[in-house]
């Protein structure tokens, strides 16, 4: 028996709809694949463009045992000179002036077995020749894991220490302020702290900062040692040497040599590269002496590590407020705490032990100095502590040194 007329029409519409969907779905899939292909091509082109920007042609390449690649770049073709204000800049190999007492010998040494010698892992496989500087190569996988390919290496957490109870950033620091500053010194104890999450960090550093009258605009020069599993920079578990600067209150800025600004002059150490040995709990201690001073002839801010590593300088022209002098100097530790699962992170600061444990167990800063408005190198005087969560990370200070750090989550830091 033939179906009723209305049922026949419904049946034909169902057949047509089935055939339409049969052809439409493969076509839609093709469209999605085409869109993804276009996106992938654009992303790959952007990655290749950024790699070309970040990685300069090398005169020599050294493969480090830890997987880093160090490119020895012509000193006159380093990233600094891509800065629009440095196009015609004449590189200075030495400062035009030095502060008195530049070379520091250990005094008031809070760790009797401290070893300030600086070595990096890539040195095992070679050195860069004269006339070049070493730069850690940015790899494609670094950019693939970065949250922003275009700004890779340029951004930093807004991390000037403050007294606010910040849920993410935690500090155990000492700040010197109330004067005009033209430099600072600090010997920083080197550890390899545990970092819990992929986007967290633990670092020991200095901040040389200049702020305007209302404190909103801020320039900084920063440096130290960093343990970071932060996708913007590194995907490993090694402590690394780092610097950072910003001239607009962290709206932008730059790590190491990953954008134009810092002019490197030393061919022996690479920013962003790992180094050993670390300090041993209850045993030998490793440390690095950081000294920043302003050349009073050309105005550049020079960085020296140890007694003989004159690393280079931040030209005064790249700054606004900091072009003249600094208004504060800060030393200490910082961690990020994302409180996964509502608990405090287990990320360690320093050695991961509280300052009360003392020599060879707690991490330290020592030989703290500032260059004040009289261009006199002196110890800290007008200072105060900024410790945001003392049950998690704390600080215990002496005359020109302090112990600091802590384990993060513990029975006293839930």
Residues known to be catalytic: 222, 334
What is the token pair recorded at 75?
């000193």
Neighbours of 280 (CB within 10 A): 13
Q: What is the SS3 assignment for 254?
A: strand
Tell me which residue of 146, 150, 132, 144 sits closest to 53, measured CA to CA: 150
Tell me which residue of 105, 56, 80 sits closest to 300, measured CA to CA: 80
What is the token pair recorded at 15?
């057949």
The secondary element (H helix, E strand) that includes residue 141 is: helix 140-145
Cis peptide before 344 (omega within 30 of 0): no
CB 326 within 8 A of CB 240: no
| Cβ-count burial 163-187 (b if 16+ within 10 Å, e if not) | eeebeebbbbbbbbbebebbbbbbb
CB 333 within 8 A of CB 393: yes
Rounded to whole angstroms, how far apart are CA atoms 396 and 289? 20
| Cβ-count burial 69-99 (b if 16+ within 10 Å, e if not) | bbbbbebeebbbeebeebeeeebbeebeeeb
**Scanning the structure block, which residue is given the tokens 């839609």?**
28
Strand partners, 169: 336
**269 DSSP assignment:** -
What is the token pair recorded at 325?
């002098």
The secondary element (H helix, E strand) that includes residue 52 is: helix 5-54
φ and ψ at 371, to 5 degrees? -105, 115
């Amino acid at each position: 028996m033939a179906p009723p007329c209305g049922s026949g029409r419904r049946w034909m519409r169902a057949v047509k709809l089935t055939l339409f969907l049969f052809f439409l779905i493969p076509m839609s899939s093709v469209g999605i694949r085409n869109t993804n292909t276009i996106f992938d091509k654009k992303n790959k082109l952007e990655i290749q463009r950024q790699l070309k920007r970040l990685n300069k042609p090398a005169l020599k390449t050294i493969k480090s045992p830890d997987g880093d690649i160090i490119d020895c770049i012509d000193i006159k073709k380093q990233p600094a000179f891509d800065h629009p204000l440095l196009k015609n800049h004449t590189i200075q190999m030495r400062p035009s002036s030095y502060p008195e007492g530049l070379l520091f010998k250990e005094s008031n040494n809070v760790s009797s077995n401290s070893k300030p010698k600086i070595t990096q892992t890539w040195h095992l496989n070679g050195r860069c020749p004269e006339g070049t500087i070493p730069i850690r190569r940015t790899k494609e996988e670094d950019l693939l894991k970065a949250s922003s390919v275009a700004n890779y290496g340029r951004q930093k957490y807004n991390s000037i220490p403050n007294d606010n109870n910040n849920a993410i950033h935690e500090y155990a620091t000492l700040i010197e302020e109330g004067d005009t500053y033209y430099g600072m010194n600090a010997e920083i104890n080197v550890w390899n702290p545990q970092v819990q999450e992929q986007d967290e960090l633990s670092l020991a550093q200095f901040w040389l900062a200049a702020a305007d009258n209302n404190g909103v605009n801020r320039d900084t020069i920063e440096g130290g040692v960093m343990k970071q599993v932060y996708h913007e920079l590194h995907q490993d578990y090694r402590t690394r040497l780092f610097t950072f600067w910003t001239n607009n209150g962290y709206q932008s800025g730059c790590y190491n040599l990953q954008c134009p600004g810092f002019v490197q002059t030393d061919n022996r150490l690479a920013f962003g590269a790992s180094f050993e040995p670390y300090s041993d709990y209850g045993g030998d201690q490793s440390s690095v002496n950081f000294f920043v001073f302003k050349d009073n002839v050309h105005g550049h801010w020079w960085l020296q590590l140890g007694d003989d590593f004159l690393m280079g300088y931040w030209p005064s022209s790249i700054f606004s407020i900091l072009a003249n002098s600094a208004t504060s100097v800060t030393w200490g530790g910082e961690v990020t705490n994302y409180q996964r699962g509502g608990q405090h992170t287990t990320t360690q600061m320093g050695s991961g032990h509280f300052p009360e444990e003392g020599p060879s167990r707690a991490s330290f800063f020592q030989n703290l100095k500032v260059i004040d408005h009289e261009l006199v190198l002196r110890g800290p005087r007008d200072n105060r502590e900024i410790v945001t969560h003392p049950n998690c990370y704390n600080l215990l200070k002496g005359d020109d040194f302090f112990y600091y750090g802590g384990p993060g989550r513990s029975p006293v830091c839930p």
